[in-house]
A and B are shown apart, each in its own frame.
Chain A
């Protein structure tokens, strides 16, 4: 049988998918154990026990200065920035994407601007944002929004613009005006695409979040990682990175599930 026709059963897929992850973990443990055998106070490759002790403090002991449980306060602050930034970007993507995709004069007016903003590396804007908006929450949220919105707007606009011409003509012959075509034909068909666009934007959004927190912040997952780096605290950095990965995976899975549940017609599994 050709390789391209070889499909795994669900159980085999789990085994195949898990194997590289388990392998990497085992390699890490062997290397960490070897380093600790040579130097029991090694900080570069901490053992699980060390990470556990370090994290237990952050998870359960309030910070003497602020009174926060550090880990949860970091998580909350970062998720709030990420949520606000992505939320604003999503709103812009939906409204501007629909208008640019569906209305030629709006496309002619705004499309070059959106393209222009999209090609600016967002991190290059970070100094401008810090100067203009201060070092507080606003500049971080705006960085995420500016970073991901243009790509999302262009994606939604392209999707709406590529709806079959026949559908739009059909709607016109049914007596629909421009607003009705946007609201009833373009918007519902843009929604599943929007959820996919958010999934794809999550990666860059995390990059901008961690960057902004690393440069100027006093709380947040990225801030903590860059703070404890000074003390080579790999026992904190590694669990934080793993936690970020877990959060990102959960968001991705949740968005996909939401899309399948809310728009079954778009996934071909309505059959």
Chain B
């Protein structure tokens, strides 16, 4: 199988501090890759690399066989732990924005029929994440769980090749986290997503992932701890790509936002 995302001998260094060393990784289409590891093991650096927020010091990151430009683009969606949504836009506006960007490069917004069409598509996506009743709220009026649902809808409206999650459920309480696990698993199936998730929560990593990658330092120099970087110390395939969901369902069933 052709890899969707490949990292080839990737190093990330800040000055003389080595964060990641010799990372080789192939992520297949449809995989749900969980990345775990202790604090400071370069989990977030790895994510920023895939996101295009940073370029590797050495090595190559390939998406669909093409080297990544060191800039974020619409082929990669992202959900951060916090600050992923725009506080000055309503829920609907937050999701519609993603459709307005490519369609209106100069006006930066859509009008009339094009706007209604974009809003209808955004509404459908919001219903899929369970926010169908909250279209006109501002993020500050919603709970943390609802804001993360919004951030996911916002990312998915772009149909990204790969969805990056940076501890997306870290700030949520356990009950809501379980709801969100259900949601992300369902969306992953329904939209045939490829997901890379960074998490602190080992249980979460194993519950959601089809593959778990543990980052840590292989070597340690007590006199210069910063001179050795982290790399993948365990790479555990858990299960194959998801069984395609029964086709007849044309549209994902909305779940109610209980949080």
Q: Which A residues form the contact surface with B (CB < 8 A)?
A: 164-167, 169-177, 179-180, 183-185, 188-189, 263-266, 268, 270-271
Q: Which B residues form the contact surface with A (CB < 8 A)?
A: 51, 53, 71-74, 76-78, 80, 82-89, 97-98, 100-102, 105-106, 108-109, 138-141, 151, 154-155, 158, 160
7 shortest A-B CB distances, which residue pairs?
A175-B74, A164-B83, A172-B72, A166-B83, A174-B98, A175-B101, A166-B80
The reply to whether B86 and A185 contact each other, CB–CB distance below 8 Å, is yes
Query: What residues of chain A lie closer than 8 Å to B87, measured between beta carbons?
Result: 189, 265-266
SS class, residues of chain A in contact with chain B: helix
- Measured between alpha carbons, how far is A268 from B80 in the docked complex, in Å? 22
The reply to whether A169 and B101 contact each other, CB–CB distance below 8 Å, is no
The reply to whether B73 and A170 contact each other, CB–CB distance below 8 Å, is no
The reply to whether B138 and A264 contact each other, CB–CB distance below 8 Å, is yes
The reply to whether B108 and A172 contact each other, CB–CB distance below 8 Å, is no
Query: What residues of chain B lie closer than 8 Å to A180, measured between beta carbons?
Result: 100-101, 105, 108
The reply to whether A174 and B138 contact each other, CB–CB distance below 8 Å, is no
- Measured between alpha carbons, how far is A189 from B158 in the docked complex, in Å? 23
The reply to whether B108 and A169 contact each other, CB–CB distance below 8 Å, is no
Query: What residues of chain B lie closer than 8 Å to A188, measured between beta carbons?
Result: 88-89
If A265-B87, A270-B140 are given as contacts, then 13 extra A-B residue pairs at C-beta distance below 8 Å, sorted by A number, are A167-B84, A169-B80, A173-B73, A173-B74, A173-B78, A174-B101, A174-B158, A175-B98, A179-B108, A180-B105, A266-B88, A271-B140, A271-B141
Query: What residues of chain A lie closer than 8 Å to B85, measured between beta carbons?
Result: 170
The reply to whether B108 and A184 contact each other, CB–CB distance below 8 Å, is yes
> Known contacts A185-B86, A270-B140, A271-B141: does B154 contact A174 (CB below 8 Å)?
yes
The reply to whether B74 and A174 contact each other, CB–CB distance below 8 Å, is yes
Query: What residues of chain A lie closer than 8 Å to B86, measured between beta carbons?
Result: 167, 170-171, 185
Query: What would 21 A/B residue contacts be, using CB atoms closer than 8 Å?
Result: A166-B80, A167-B83, A169-B53, A169-B72, A169-B78, A170-B85, A170-B154, A173-B72, A173-B74, A174-B101, A175-B102, A176-B108, A177-B101, A180-B100, A184-B97, A189-B87, A189-B88, A264-B138, A265-B139, A270-B140, A271-B141
- Measured between alpha carbons, how far is A185 from B83 in the docked complex, in Å? 13
Query: What residues of chain A lie closer than 8 Å to B51, measured between beta carbons?
Result: 169, 173
Query: What residues of chain A lie closer than 8 Å to B155, measured between beta carbons?
Result: 170, 173
The reply to whether A174 and B141 contact each other, CB–CB distance below 8 Å, is no
- Measured between alpha carbons, how far is A266 from B89 in the docked complex, in Å? 11
Query: What residues of chain B lie closer than 8 Å to A167, measured between beta carbons?
Result: 83-84, 86
Closest to A169 in B: B72
Closest to B75 in A: A173
Chain B nearest CB from A249 CB (Å) reads 29
- Measured between alpha carbons, how far is A114 from B139 in the docked complex, in Å? 35
The reply to whether A172 and B73 contact each other, CB–CB distance below 8 Å, is yes
> Known contacts A166-B83, A174-B154, A177-B101: does B138 contact A265 (CB below 8 Å)?
yes
> Known contacts A174-B158, A271-B140: does B105 contact A263 (CB below 8 Å)?
no
Best-buried of A169, A177, A264 by chain B (most CB within 10 Å): A169
Chain B nearest CB from A179 CB (Å) reads 7
- Measured between alpha carbons, how far is A42 from B86 in the docked complex, in Å? 63
- Measured between alpha carbons, how far is A171 from B72 in the docked complex, in Å? 9
Best-buried of B71, B72, B155 by chain A (most CB within 10 Å): B72
The reply to whether A170 and B141 contact each other, CB–CB distance below 8 Å, is no
The reply to whether B154 and A172 contact each other, CB–CB distance below 8 Å, is no
- Measured between alpha carbons, how far is A271 from B155 in the docked complex, in Å? 25
